[in-house]
């Protein structure tokens, strides 16, 4: 049973991928990282011994601290975070307990380097519709909550990527793009080790809407309609992205928690 200052892997797994997820800080040793270079989705890496210096930046925020087994490194770091006025818990059993529960782990080698502000930077074509909103949602919710997305003219994507050290996505002849019948969202889920039942279900809806194969999923026409509607409402691509995050939050929670639920009205009609 979790104590007041810890959270179970199962409970944390329910928070990851939602807007309510706390900040996840991994403080494993270099040796532990070398032995298993994977990350709990959305976690950032920090040095435990330097916690007194960096802890104040998380003041007023909810934080989960992760080390190999949930012991001294996580406990000490969480204590320093609480001194800095953060609400800090540790992951019960640490990284090992998470891995033992077969919860998703992101291979660190697949993640792009972070900029001076500690954020990943991505670039794609302007005027997004499906994939170019779905992929940023996946990255923000499962990889880097503070990721930056640059929407530019299609002809300038690769030049901007090179000049600004950004990762191109949903662009032909790049790593993060369509592969055969898979759309970029599918590819990201596969490459980032995020193939949970809920995300795979969502990927089918996204692929169907993005590739005009609406027969693949009965929910795809709804996603397509909502996505095209957002593209008409917003002239600003970043404003559309912010609105789209809520759309994908809703589809994800349906995929995870509500596929067996239906709705009928009226519920209290007296039968004749």
Model pLDDT for residues 177-221, shown as the tens digit of each residue: 999 999 999 999 999 999 999 999 999 999 999 999 999 999 999
Residue 156 falls inside a structural domain: yes
**Tokens standing for 113?**
């380097």
120 and 239 share one domain: yes
Residues 89 and 150 in one domain: no
User: Do residues 169 and 46 both lie within one domain?
Assistant: no
Give the residue from 233, 255, 31 showing the smallest Cα distance to 137.
255
Q: What is the pLDDT of residue 264?
A: 81
Strand partners, 91: 7
36-54 pLDDT, tens digit per residue, is: 999 999 999 999 999 999 9
Q: What is the CATH number of the domain that holds 49?
A: 3.40.250.10
Residue 5 and residue 78 in contact, taking contact as beta carbons nearer than 8 Å? yes
> Is pLDDT above 70 for 3?
no
pLDDT of residue 265: 78
Co-location of 23 and 63 in the same domain? yes
Is the model's pLDDT at 2 over the cut of 50? no
- Asked if residue 264 is part of any domain, the answer here is no
Same domain, 53 and 140: no
> What's the farthest any 2 CA atoms get from each other in the chain?
73
Asked whether residue 155 falls in the same domain as residue 208, the answer is: yes
Mean pLDDT over 152-159 rounds to: 98
pLDDT at 99 over 60: yes
Contact assessment for residue 52 and residue 76, using Cβ atoms and an 8 Å cutoff: no
Same domain, 176 and 84: no
Tokens of 83: 């001194």
Q: Rounded CA gap, 199 and 139, in Å?
A: 13
More confident residue, 265 or 34: 34
Q: What pLDDT is recorded for position 268?
A: 66
Q: How far apart are CA 145 and CA 127, in angstroms?
A: 22
Query: What pLDDT sits at residue 270?
Result: 60
Structure confidence at residue 267 (pLDDT): 66
Cα 6 vs. chain centroid, distance in angstroms? 22
pLDDT value of residue 4: 60
Asked if residue 14 and residue 70 are part of one domain, the reply reads: yes
Evaluate whether residue 151 is within a structural domain. Answer: yes
- Tens digit of pLDDT for each residue in 56-90? 999 999 999 999 999 999 999 999 999 999 999 99
Quick one: pLDDT at residue 263?
84
d(CA 245, CA 17): 11
H or E stretch covering 81: helix 72-83
Domains held by the chain: number: 2
pLDDT grade for 272, boundaries at 50, 70 and 90: low
Beta bridge partners of 204: none
- The residue out of 59, 77, 107 marking a domain boundary is 107
Q: How many residues does the chain have?
A: 272
Contacts of 264 (CB under 8 A, 6+ apart): none
* pLDDT tens-place string over residues 138-154: 999 999 999 999 999 99
Range of the domain at 210: 111-258
User: Do residues 47 and 119 both lie within one domain?
Assistant: no
Is residue 1, in this structure, part of any structural domain at all? no
- The model's pLDDT over 209-264, given as tens digits with 9 standing for 90+, comes to 999 999 999 999 999 999 999 999 999 999 999 999 999 999 999 999 999 998 88
């Amino acid at each position: 049973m979790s104590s007041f200052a810890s959270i179970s892997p199962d409970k944390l797994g329910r928070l990851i991928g939602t807007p309510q997820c706390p900040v996840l800080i991994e403080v494993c040793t270099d040796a532990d990282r070398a032995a298993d270079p994977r990350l709990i989705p959305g976690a950032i890496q920090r040095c435990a011994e330097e916690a007194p210096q960096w802890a104040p930046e998380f003041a007023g925020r909810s934080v989960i601290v992760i080390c190999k087994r949930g012991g001294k490194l996580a406990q000490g770091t969480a204590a320093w975070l609480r001194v800095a006025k953060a609400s800090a818990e540790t992951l019960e059993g640490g990284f090992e307990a998470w891995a033992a529960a077969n919860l998703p782990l992101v291979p660190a080698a697949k993640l792009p380097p972070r900029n001076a502000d500690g954020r990943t930077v991505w670039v794609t074509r302007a005027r997004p519709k499906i994939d170019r909103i779905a992929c940023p949602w996946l990255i923000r919710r499962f990889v880097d909550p503070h990721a930056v997305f640059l929407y530019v003219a299609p002809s300038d994507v690769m030049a901007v990527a090179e000049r600004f050290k950004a990762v191109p996505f949903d662009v032909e002849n790049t790593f993060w793009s369509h592969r055969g019948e898979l759309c970029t969202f599918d590819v990201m889920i596969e490459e980032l080790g995020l193939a949970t039942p809920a995300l795979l279900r969502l990927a089918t809806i996204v692929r169907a809407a993005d590739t005009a194969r609406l027969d693949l999923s009965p929910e795809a026409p709804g996603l397509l309609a909502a996505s095209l509607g957002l593209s008409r409402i917003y002239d600003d691509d970043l404003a559309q992205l912010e609105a789209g995050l809520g759309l994908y939050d809703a589809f994800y929670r349906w995929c995870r928690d509500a596929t067996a639920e239906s709705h009928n009205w009226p519920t209290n009609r007296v039968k004749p």
